[in-house]
Structure 1
Amino acid sequence: MSLLRRWFDPIRSRWFYQKPTRQEVLPTEQGLSVYLRLDDVYSYLAVQQLTQLDEILSDEIKPLKVVISDTAAEPPNGMTKAEWHSYCLNDAKILATQHRFSYDEEKPEQPSAEALKQAELILKNTPLTGQNFLYLLEDVFHMLWQQQYGKLRTLFVMASQHQQPQQMPERVFDHTPVLASYFEFGGRKYHAVDDLLRLTRRLKQQKLLTGNPIFLINHIEWREHLMSDAEELAEIQALHPELDLYIALEDPISWLLLAYIKEELANYYNIQMRVFPLSYQGRDFFDWSLATRLSKRAEVAFTPFCRPTEQSTLEMAKLFYSVAEEDRVNAMYEILKAAWTEGKDLSFKAHFQAMQQQLGIEQLQEVNVAGLLEENDALCDQKHQPDFPVLELRINGQSYVFNSLYRVWMIESIFSNVLEQLYKSENDAELNELEISKE
């Protein structure tokens, strides 16, 4: 790592960490926009919140601008379109179950091309505005994603025969590439589902809401446990849940989530963790403000730091694979902590030797570190996830795979669902015994 980067990064990180993490006021001239695609399942979830959101928007940012695109952005992380669609349908099912969205859980599928054309014409031709348009928009999405093609066809015939295309500034049809639905406010983008609470906090801070926003009712906040009952905790702990974490060493989000899970969840739920470091992913040019905000919300230390280079990640992995397997999670915690909170550059000999001594490594293991990282890459690729870090949770004979900071809440949600299923099975067994005894 260059001397400039080694010394400048900690200074810059201190500035980011010490300055206010939220700009006091975002500009309101452009109002609030939501970007949708009719064939995007996240848009389907998003439109189910729009009427409620619009009801409490202040006049200053009304009307809510709806942008409907017919162009999909390229899938992330090298995924094929088929892999991305499959991931989205499954992820939407998880979100719908957690936050009680309407969703076809039996057989979710992408709407047909003909249905998409019909839906677009209906929305282009309708003279409805404001709340009435938002209700129609939600109904049309329901028809698309619940395969209610008969109803859609009826509306299409009426719209094509009795209405003309409407030109309204708050309703735009264009070709903006949209990967997944998002809001735009003050020049910033917010994921339509995952960032909805962050967006409403911002709007409320700027006094742009006329009422209290109540969205995503089962959202789990950082450091707030979903399960606190001693008996329930003991039952989860007795199941010995296992968690595999695939992390990019140059990615600060990987550090923040590893630290959070280790500090807050692992001991609490008796989670047996394993860490799989990946080869250099080029993720050291990240959103500094997002990482800083997350560190404060998750209460995980983050500054000062030096962004690890590709060479640094190899040295970090060399230390990791030189400790006993049972000590590797703790070792990775200390290695990443040194890089992301103490500004240590482990490609710098003095820093490397100090960490080697701290970890009690007398002799470095003679292993093909690059080869081990490539093996981890291959395992991670098999999970078909769009973002890092990738997590695989195993409990009660089931395996669950998810990713990124937006899905950490799933760990506790899964535990809750597992207990619910166990209780249901026990109750069913007791009822069966009672019926047999009556006979």
Structure 2
Amino acid sequence: MSLLRRWFDPIRSRWFFQKPTRQEVLPTEQGLSIYLRLDDVYSYLAVQQLPQLEEILTDDLKPLKVVISDTAAEPPNGMTKTEWHTYCLNDAKILATQHRFSYDEEKPEQPTQEALKQAETILKNTPLTGQNFLYLLEDVFHMLWQQQYGKLRTLFVMASQHQKPQETPERVFDHTPVLASYFEFGGRKYHAVDDLLRLTRRLKQQKLLTDNPIFLINHIEWREHLMSDAEELAEIQAMHPELDLYIALEDPISWLLLAYIKEELADYYNIQMNLYPLSYRSRDHFDWSLATRLSKRAEVEFTPFCRPTADSILEMAHLFYSVPDDEQVDAMYEILKAVWTKGKDFSFKSHFQQMQQLLSIEQLTDVNVAELLARNDALCDQKHQPDFPVLELRINGKHYVFNSLYRVWMIESIFSNVLEQLYKSENDAENNEFEISKE
């Protein structure tokens, strides 16, 4: 990191974070829009909430504008289209189970091209508007994603023979590249499922809702544990769960999640954490206001944004691999805390030596750190995840892979599901024994 950045970034960050973390009022002139793709499974989940959302919008935001695109954006993180589709189908199943969406859990699959064309014709030709159109939109998505192709063809024949394409400003068909469904409000984008609560909090703050929004009923808030029963907690702790974290060291979200999991979840559930730092991934462009809001919700300190450079990453990893294995989590916590709360630059000799002393490192390791990071990269790539950090949880003989700040809630949800399955198996065994004894 240059001398200019080392001095300027902390000053700039203090100025940045002294500003309000939430802009008081976002403009409403453009209304509220949702971007969908008929072949996007996240769009399928999103449309199941739209009639309810439209119902509680104030007149300032009605009608909800629906933009249906026929163009997919490139998959993230170097994934192939096949890898991305597979990931989305599996992730949607997790979201559907957690938040009670309709979804084909037995055999989810992408709709056929013929079905997609029929669905587009139905939606282009329908004279329905407002909430009635949203109900039709939901029904059409059900037909596509539940393989109800007979019903879809019947509607298609009616729409193509008896109706003509309609022109309405609240319904747009275009070629905007859409990776996954999202809302747009006041010039900002919100993931259609993952950011729905954040969006509705914003709308409620601006008095743009006529009633309380009740969405994603099993959402787990930061610092609020899903499990509090002492007996259940003890059972999870006795299973000795393990959690692997693959973290990009220049990514502030990696710091926020590592700190949150270490401070709030690891000891509580007796989770053994294993860290795998990754080589420099050029993750230098972030939504800093989102990171700030996350730090406040997760109650994790986060102030300067002195983004580590590629040289800094190597030095941070050098420190990490110079402490004993059982001290590495604590060491990385201190290293990242120094970066993201104090603006330390470990390519700067003085900062490096200070941390070496703090971690009581008498002798730096002579292993090839770059090779270790490359090995971690390869392991991480095998997980086929679209974002960082990548997490792998192992418990009760099974393993679960997920990623990013949007899926941290899965840790506790998985624990709850593991216990539910355990109790169900025990009850089934007891019932079988009872039936045998009766015979």
Shorter-chain TM-score range: over 0.9
Asked whether 1:77 is paired with 2:110, we answer no
Shift of 1:305: 4.2
Q: Provide the rounded CA distance (Å) in 2 between the counterparts of 1:126 and 1:16.
A: 48
Q: Provide the rounded CA distance (Å) in 2 between the counterparts of 1:94 and 1:355.
A: 41
Asked whether 1:353 is paired with 2:353, we answer yes
Q: Deviations over 1:231-265 (max 9, x none)?
A: 00000000000000000000000000000000000
Calculate the TM-score normalised by the size of structure 1: 0.99
**2:28 corresponds to:** 28
| Amino acid in structure 1 at the alignment position of 2:156 | F
**1:50 corresponds to:** 50
Shift of 1:288: 1.2
**1:259 corresponds to:** 259
Asked whether 1:336 is paired with 2:297, we answer no
| Amino acid in structure 2 at the alignment position of 1:243 | L
Other structure's SS at 1:193 match = coil
| 8 A Cα contact 1:240 1:395, kept in partner | yes
RMSD value, Cα: 0.6
Q: Provide the rounded CA distance (Å) in 2 between the counterparts of 1:268 and 1:21.
A: 30
Q: Deviations over 1:20-42 (max 9, x none)?
A: 11100000000000000000000
**1:278 corresponds to:** 278
Shift of 1:4: 1.3
**1:382 corresponds to:** 382
**1:130 corresponds to:** 130
Other structure's SS at 1:365 match = coil
Other structure's SS at 1:29 match = coil
Q: Deviations over 1:156-188 (max 9, x none)?
A: 000000000000000000000000000000000
Other structure's SS at 2:277 match = strand
| Amino acid in structure 2 at the alignment position of 1:298 | A
**1:247 corresponds to:** 247
Runs of 4+ in 1 over 3 A off after TM superposition: none
Q: Provide the rounded CA distance (Å) in 2 between the counterparts of 1:120 and 1:270.
A: 51
| 8 A Cα contact 1:245 1:392, kept in partner | yes
Q: Deviations over 1:108-161 (max 9, x none)?
A: 000000000000000000000011100000000000000000000000000000
Q: Provide the rounded CA distance (Å) in 2 between the counterparts of 1:16 and 1:55.
A: 37
Q: Provide the rounded CA distance (Å) in 2 between the counterparts of 1:280 and 1:292.
A: 23
Other structure's SS at 2:49 match = helix
* Structure 1 segment 307-346 matched on structure 2, within 5 A: 307-346=307-346
Asked whether 1:397 is paired with 2:397, we answer yes
**1:219 corresponds to:** 219
| Amino acid in structure 2 at the alignment position of 1:123 | L
| Amino acid in structure 2 at the alignment position of 1:183 | F
Q: Provide the rounded CA distance (Å) in 1 between the counterparts of 2:306 and 2:125.
A: 55
Q: Deviations over 1:280-314 (max 9, x none)?
A: 00012211111111111100001134211000000
Q: Which runs of 5+ in 1 are unaligned?
A: none
| Amino acid in structure 1 at the alignment position of 2:365 | Q
Q: Which runs of 5+ in 2 are unaligned?
A: none
Q: Provide the rounded CA distance (Å) in 2 between the counterparts of 1:16 and 1:105.
A: 45
Asked whether 1:203 is paired with 2:199, we answer no
| Amino acid in structure 2 at the alignment position of 1:155 | L
Asked whether 1:158 is paired with 2:158, we answer yes
Q: Deviations over 1:356-394 (max 9, x none)?
A: 000010000101000000000000000000000000000
Other structure's SS at 1:102 match = coil
| Amino acid in structure 2 at the alignment position of 1:310 | A
Q: Provide the rounded CA distance (Å) in 1 between the counterparts of 2:257 and 2:21.
A: 19
| Amino acid in structure 2 at the alignment position of 1:398 | K
Calculate the TM-score normalised by the size of structure 2: 0.99
Other structure's SS at 2:189 match = strand
| 8 A Cα contact 1:43 1:180, kept in partner | yes
| 8 A Cα contact 1:245 1:390, kept in partner | yes
Q: Provide the rounded CA distance (Å) in 1 between the counterparts of 2:301 and 2:118.
A: 52
Shift of 1:18: 2.0
Identity score, percent: 88
Q: Provide the rounded CA distance (Å) in 2 between the counterparts of 1:28 and 1:230.
A: 48
**1:111 corresponds to:** 111
| Amino acid in structure 2 at the alignment position of 1:432 | N
Asked whether 1:367 is paired with 2:367, we answer yes
Of the structure 1 ranges 46-55 and 300-309, higher mean CA displacement relative to structure 2 is found in 300-309
Other structure's SS at 2:401 match = strand
| 8 A Cα contact 1:16 1:288, kept in partner | no
Shift of 1:7: 1.2
Other structure's SS at 1:72 match = coil
Other structure's SS at 2:67 match = strand
Other structure's SS at 2:184 match = strand
**2:290 corresponds to:** 290
Aligned residues: 439
